[in-house]
A and B are shown apart, each in its own frame.
Chain A
Amino acid sequence: MELFLDRLVIGLGQGAIYALLALALVLIYRSTGLLNFAQGEMALFSTYMTWQLIEWGLPLVVAVIVSMILSFIGGAFIERAIIRPVGDVEHNPLSIVIVTIGLFLAFNALVGWVWGTDGRIFPKALTTTLNLGVTTVSWQTVVTLGVLVAELVVLYLVFQKTKLGLALRAVASNSESSRLVGIRVGRMLMFGWGLAATVGALGGSLYASTLTTLDPSLMAVLLIYAFAAATLGGFDSPVGAVVGGLIVGVVTVMAEGYISWIGGDLKLAFAFFLILVVLMVRPQGLFGKEQVKRV
């Protein structure tokens, strides 16, 4: 029983990390209808920025906040300068895939070029653990889960209760009609990307402070898990991203633990099959809305 709970807690911890990146993926999808294959590498770049700010003497929390702000600006800029000129995803999905792949390669290499490929030490925010009697939880995990919940609350309030949120959802639903009611669609798209980049920066920084090392290979595999989480939860649901992430985390850890044949190597394969099955059986995920396409 104890082993089960331990594994559960580890799974939740890992799942929380997946959820952090999945949330950024969902935000991009919600505001622009795209799957951003470069999300992980963008978050990586933001995380390195956080590290750099810490190196320059800023305290951890301040560095993360500054990095988030800079990432917002960067994300908005990328939407305006790079994504928008390529065309919309309905008519030209291949171009979008290539461009996000281009961003993926560029950001990853940029990180290696600016900061080198050796691992960097990232300060751990919290080292203590919480003893729950039957098992122990690291405060790090608790904080991560807390941040996730806080993010969800903020996003909910923004999307459902503000005029800005209404405009963002309108643009995602029908960008042409949005223009007709006077919404400046371009600005909304930029905002969506900026917001996703901000969430990614926060997530990446939390992740790095969990691992305490930072190197360019950090996000590549994480991206697949994050996509699995977002697929399971539903690409247009932030709650889905979090729940999906936690489920993916717990299930993969359990599978690794209880089914010895799977082992560490095939954990990722498991995630892949998850993506495949969900997309076939219930493409809108657990919490997403079903897309009705009228002929």
Chain B
Amino acid sequence: MTRLLDAADVTGGYGPVQVLFGLDLVVDEGEVVVVLGANGAGKTTTLRALCGMIPAKGTVTFAGESIIGKKPDDIVRRGVAHVPQGRGTFADLTVEENLRAGAYVRKDDEIPADIDRWYTTFPRLAERRDQAAGSMSGGEQQMLAIARALMSRPHLLLLDEPSLGLAPLITRELFTQLADLNRETGMTMLVVEQNANLALDIADRGYVLEAGAIVTSGTAAELKSDEAVRKAYLGY
């Protein structure tokens, strides 16, 4: 199994406020890896640092090449797609336009075929294809954001708190779809999540982030049975 993402000793933050203090994590091809942590631990900052949205130091290699210090649009072109926190859909554009925007970096002619494919996977998006994205519900926008990210045919999908602001039922459905996606297509995913239960159910491995650094790591099963993790994040 190839190592797709390798991050070591990553530090970064916002201006004078440092948030990440030497982060280490790896993601291998085909895996679903989750990063758990409380609010303020640095989860979103981690993803932002990995895809170049904030200045960061340390070592980050993707598919063997260093991406530290590169800009987001460069990193996207290398095959990383980021579904940001809060969905980040283009509210003023239609669903179809959002998907086309997702394929911005591609120059091939299979884009319409891909759009149809994701319409099949997410039928609710197909129903609303000419509707403004901003008028859809949170769950639908989350699906759109994921589909948009997938339009670039990434090797690695980063998801930032996909459950945020969604009803429990929708979240459950969402995570099931993510699991299906990984099983059927082998899409590698790095999911940052507060909802540890759901996240560990679909994950292969996980990390626990506290105050800007990894404090615990292991397989999903190991984390679920670890007493400290259970007490702090799983609620029992």
**Residues of A bordering B, CB below 8 Å:** 163, 166-167, 169-170, 172-174, 176-185, 289, 292
Which of A180, A183, A184, A185 gathers the greatest number of chain B CB atoms within 10 Å? A180
The distance in angstroms between the C-alpha atoms of A167 and B152, with both chains bound, is: 15
Residues of B within 8 A of A185 (CB): 73
- Interface stretch of the complex, out of B20-28, B97-105, B177-185, B201-209: B97-105
CB B141 to nearest CB in A, in angstroms, measures: 11
The distance in angstroms between the C-alpha atoms of A289 and B133, with both chains bound, is: 13
Task: Tell whether B8 is near chain A: CB-to-CB under 8 Å.
Answer: no
Interface residue range, chain B: 20 to 34
Select which of A166, A176, A182, A289 is within 8 A of B152 by beta carbon.
Answer: A182
Tell me the number of A-to-B contacts counted with CB atoms below 8 Å: 73
Supplied contacts A170-B93, A182-B76, A185-B73, 13 more A-B pairs, CB within 8 Å: A167-B101, A169-B93, A169-B97, A174-B89, A177-B84, A177-B88, A177-B89, A180-B76, A180-B81, A180-B82, A181-B102, A289-B92, A292-B91
Interface residues of chain A: helix, strand, loop or mixed (majority): helix
The distance in angstroms between the C-alpha atoms of A252 and B209, with both chains bound, is: 64
Task: Tell whether B155 is near chain A: CB-to-CB under 8 Å.
Answer: no
The distance in angstroms between the C-alpha atoms of A172 and B90, with both chains bound, is: 9
Residues of A within 8 A of B139 (CB): none
CB A167 to nearest CB in B, in angstroms, measures: 7
Select which of B53, B104, B135 is within 8 A of A182 by beta carbon.
Answer: B104
Select which of A166, A184, A289, A292 is within 8 A of B101 by beta carbon.
Answer: A166
Task: Tell whether B69 is near chain A: CB-to-CB under 8 Å.
Answer: no
Query: B135's closest neighbor in chain A, by CB?
Result: A292
Residues of B within 8 A of A176 (CB): 53, 84, 88
Residues of A within 8 A of B90 (CB): 169-170, 173-174, 177-178
Residues of B within 8 A of A179 (CB): 53, 71-73, 76
Task: Tell whether B55 is near chain A: CB-to-CB under 8 Å.
Answer: no
A173 and B93 contact, CB distance less than 8 A:
yes
The distance in angstroms between the C-alpha atoms of A181 and B148, with both chains bound, is: 8
Query: B106's closest neighbor in chain A, by CB?
Result: A182
